Structure 1
């Protein structure tokens, strides 16, 4: 299995925003959507503000592949359902990284709906 380099983890993990382009059914990349990304250990996670009903999330789940751009990194990725046991760590990472934006923005990202849409980004 391919892994992130430390340079990738730092670049993406420290970036405020990530452009995510899940693959369409026809194999082309969708138009990029700007979202938040967090790092937990050597793994990267994203969530949909709209939970499992979010358009980019539904496409990512359907095709399992896409492209991300953040922090000088431009990579093909696979989307994997995150281990539910990591929810608290991912919630903490969102609160720590994005807390400066206030509860009106961070609260929805750590809600049950958003947590249900947590995907792990895997290079490749």
Structure 2
């Protein structure tokens, strides 16, 4: 696992949204998708409201690589499926950061969404 540079970690973690572009099997980037991102410990995570069947999530599975951009940071990343023992910390991070959107945040706290939790690691 590669660690985030401290300032990049903080900038991404505090940004309201993140643009995520996954790589196609030929190495080109798909159009970016704007989504929520959270920090749990020193790791960054994203989830699909639609679970593993969500289109952007499926796109991450061809090469498990892509690019994220937000808060003045653009980084190439790898996508790693989170372990179920990471879910509670990620759930708590979503509640802390996006709890002011109560009718929306609940959608990323479902079991379907949890199974799509991806850890973003810089490459």
TM-score bracket, normalised by the shorter chain, equals over 0.9
- Aligned-pair CA distance for 1:62: 2.1
Task: Please say which of residues 47-56 and 30-39 is displaced more in the overlay.
Answer: 47-56
- Aligned match of 1:86: 86
TM-score (norm 2): 0.97
Secondary structure, in 3 states, of the residue corresponding to 1:31? coil
- Aligned match of 1:99: 99
Q: Which structure 1 residue ranges, 5 or more long, are not aligned?
A: none
Tell me, yes or no, if structure 1 residue 41 matches structure 2 residue 41.
Answer: yes
More helix by percentage:
1
Moved over 2 A (4+): none
CA distance in 2, matches of 1:38, 1:62: 23
- Aligned match of 2:113: 114
Tell me, yes or no, if structure 1 residue 12 matches structure 2 residue 17.
Answer: no
- Aligned-pair CA distance for 1:64: 0.4
**RMSD value, Cα:** 0.8
